[in-house]
């Protein structure tokens, strides 16, 4: 356990080095979040009765999404892992007395969390002071806040577990650029990162909410603002835990079977 924690620490600290990039990112996130909220405001003014969330809930959803963008950025894969696979240095990892799956998993988790930690503080701090319907509101209750933190962590774990599939596919195809682009597109769409899931048509909404994508980027943000609560919330948390276990177990089994017939390219 200790060695995985060390990996986590190393990756976490090295990611924290890129502070200027983080500041530039924060500015971008303000504009993106702000423009999106203004756009939804226009829809809100067009027909309030058809708006599926409270407007303050929507603002909180969008600002949290921007604050924690690095956590749920589907398009970022750990370039070091991808490179180790394509260059063949993955052979070194196999020699180490540790589980490759867990190592990759902790590395990816660590760099996401470090990036998010750098960026979330200024976004949260400033957007909390924006005027009423546009800013980030306080969480619904203390309980909601705690559950938000827990599901946020579990959500990242679900997303990274899905990403592990892509790393394994990279072992299979060597260049998995196409697969990655497809995965990114589908995941972005299904996770409600472009428009929040409550805005989806009712017919497909429930179906989307049951998928692992919603468990990752969508659920924690809606718990925070109180858009999901009570029994419904516990149901979706159960779904989230189910996906985490399912993806972890199948991913580990798959990687193990791949590792048995791994071909190391020379060089």
Give contact residues for other proteins (rule: CB under 8 A). Answer: 21, 24-25, 27-28, 31-32, 35, 38-39, 41-43, 45-47, 50, 52, 175, 177-179, 181-182, 184-186, 188-189, 194-195, 199-201
Q: Provide the Cα torsion 253, 258, 259, 262; round to 10°.
A: 180
Closest approach of Cβ 45 to other proteins, in Å?
8
CA–CA distance, 229 with 223 (Å, rounded to integer):
6
Minimum CB distance to other proteins, residue 193 (Å): 10
What Rg value do the Cα atoms of the chain yield, rounded?
19
List of residues 6+ apart from 163 with CB closer than 8 A: 74, 77, 108
Q: Are 207 and 117 in contact (CB under 8 A)?
A: no
In the complex, the smallest distance separating the C-beta of residue 148 from other proteins, rounded to whole angstroms, is 25
Residues 6 or more apart in contact with residue 263 via CB below 8 angstroms: none
Which lies closer to other proteins via its Cβ, residue 32 or residue 55?
32
Q: Which is nearer to other proteins, 203 or 230 (CB)?
A: 203
Q: Which is nearer to other proteins, 100 or 162 (CB)?
A: 162
- Shortest approach of other proteins to residue 36 CB, angstroms? 9
Residue 250 CB, shortest distance to other proteins, in Å, is 24
Closer to other proteins by CB, 25 or 163: give it. Answer: 25
Residues contacting residue 19 through CB under 8 Å, at least 6 positions apart: 118
Q: Which is nearer to other proteins, 10 or 21 (CB)?
A: 21
């Amino acid at each position: 356990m200790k060695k995985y924690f060390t990996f986590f620490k190393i990756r976490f600290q090295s990611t924290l080095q890129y502070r200027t990039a983080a500041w530039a990112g924060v500015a971008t996130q303000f504009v993106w979040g702000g423009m999106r909220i203004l756009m939804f405001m226009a829809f809100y003014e067009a027909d309030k009765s058809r708006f599926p969330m409270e407007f303050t809930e929507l603002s909180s959803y969008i600002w949290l999404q921007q604050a924690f963008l690095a956590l749920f950025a589907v398009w970022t894969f750990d370039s070091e892992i991808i490179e180790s696979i394509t260059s063949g240095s993955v052979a070194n990892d196999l020699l180490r007395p540790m589980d490759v799956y867990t190592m990759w998993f902790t590395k990816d988790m660590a760099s996401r969390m470090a990036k998010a930690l750098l960026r979330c503080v200024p976004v949260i701090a400033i957007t909390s002071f924006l005027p009423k319907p546009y800013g980030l509101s306080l969480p619904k209750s203390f309980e909601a806040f705690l559950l938000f933190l827990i599901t946020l962590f579990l959500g990242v774990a679900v997303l990274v577990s899905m990403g592990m599939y892509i790393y394994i596919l990279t072992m299979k195809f060597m260049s998995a650029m196409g697969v990655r682009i497809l995965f990114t597109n589908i995941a972005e769409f299904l996770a409600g990162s472009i428009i929040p899931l409550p805005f989806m048509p009712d017919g497909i909404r429930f179906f989307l909410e049951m998928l692992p994508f919603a468990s990752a980027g969508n659920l924690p943000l809606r718990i925070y603002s109180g858009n999901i609560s009570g029994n419904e919330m516990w149901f979706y948390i159960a779904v989230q835990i189910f996906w985490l276990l399912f993806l972890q177990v199948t991913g580990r089994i798959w990687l193990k079977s791949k590792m048995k017939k791994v071909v190391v390219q020379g060089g």
